[in-house]
Amino acid sequence: MSMNAFGTNFRFTSFGESHGAVIGGVIDGCLSAVVVDFDFLQNEMKRRRTAQSEFASQRTESDEVIFLSGIFEGKTTGAPIAFIIENENARSVDYENFKNIFRPSHADFTYFKKYGIRDFRGGGRSSARETAARVVAGAFAKMILREKGIYINAFTSQIGSYKISVPIEEIDFSTIEKSPVRCPQADLADEMLDFLKKIKEQGDSIGGTVTCVVSGLCAGIGEPIFDKLQARLAAAMLSIPAVHGFDYGIGFEGVTQTGSEQNDIFISKNGKILTATNNSGGIQGGISNGMPVYFRVLFKPASSIGQRQQTVDIQGNATEIKIDGRHDVCLVPRAVPVVEAMTAITLADFILAKI
């Protein structure tokens, strides 16, 4: 079991609780002599930050990454890169109220059952705060991948029943960051915003999907049988808090199609073998085929809501809970850089194993 580490060749170990002093991580296996692009890193951190939108939880998180090892004179040395991010706003006192209560659909109950001990502050390890460390590791993975011409772009493809209708191949990735909901279809983005306002007013939350596209990946990446590219990507995505589903290529949308409709015909273009359609999502038999790899990640609605909910306390007595203050109305826009980060880590792990 890898537990708090992901990957073999490019291995990311995560540590820290949402309301401890810091969160952080260790990257083991990063190429040496990579010039660290600190501006790029800080921009990735900024993209993930809570405060970006009015629909995120109230907490203002720090995004300064402090490196502890593995970088010398601005370059990676090949030694493990350890880093921390301080938790500025770790108000444990806020959580005293929930000390003996299990919040519905949160991990309070299962952590308590598993570990027999309870760090009740803000979800501890299961909080989305932990994903900030993933974004740091993902930024290093992206630095390695872009040297090989591999680029990763994720975006919000659905919130509630508001679903993107532009085909993948027609999406202009440069428009993603133009809306706080990170949906590249401008009219839909506005509708999503209005919808989120309504959900917020109701003290409720809503889920949706992130779609991620990998461009520039050569054919041959993926290791049958059990480290198929889609299997590793699925494991990476399902490790993100609140993720409940994954599909790649046409996926669940294509369940009514027949084989003759869904098969991707091979064609030859400028001496290169391509497929005419890309329902396979760039993967066949667990190995990339040179077409763009794309997949979809389902996020459930955030469990913390502003409404009063029934639940039980640690003794099993019925009680009620109401979480005050601002909560995450929708996790999806904020998760976009996290999906990208985990994709980058997964791909770097494959790429660095290739001889």
Instruction: List binders of a copy of itself among 190-229 (CB under 8 A).
Output: 199, 202, 204-209, 219-220, 222-228
- CB 102 within 8 Å of CB 314: yes
Q: Which of 185, 211, 289, 346 binds a copy of itself (CB under 8 A)?
A: 289
3-state class (DSSP) for residue 59: coil
**Does 304 sit near a copy of itself (CB under 8 A)?**
yes
Q: Which of 44, 61, 63, 119 binds a copy of itself (CB under 8 A)?
A: 119
Q: What is the CA radius of gyration of the chain?
A: 21
Residue 35 phi, psi (nearest 5): -70, 120
Hey, what are 87's tokens? 């938790």
Minimum Å gap between C-beta 2 and a copy of itself is: 5
Binding residues among 306-345 for a copy of itself as defined by CB under 8 A: 307, 309-312, 316-318
Q: Which of 21, 96, 147, 178 binds a copy of itself (CB under 8 A)?
A: 21
- Please say which residue, 43 or 325, places its beta carbon nearer to a copy of itself: 325
Q: Which residues of 329-341 are buried (b: 16+ CB within 10 A; e: fewer)?
A: bbbbbbbbbbbbb
**Does 180 sit near a copy of itself (CB under 8 A)?**
no
Q: Which of 264, 293, 341, 344 binds a copy of itself (CB under 8 A)?
A: 264
Q: One-letter amino acid identity for 20?
A: G
Kindly state the helix (H) or strand (E) to which residue 132 belongs, with its residue range. Answer: helix 131-146
- CB 68 within 8 Å of CB 25: no
Distances (CA, A) of 25 to 29, 65, 66, 241, 295: 13, 10, 11, 17, 26
- Please say which residue, 175 or 314, places its beta carbon nearer to a copy of itself: 314
Binding residues among 37-96 for a copy of itself as defined by CB under 8 A: 68-70, 72, 75-82, 84
Binding residues among 149-168 for a copy of itself as defined by CB under 8 A: 158, 160-161
- Please say which residue, 176 or 332, places its beta carbon nearer to a copy of itself: 332
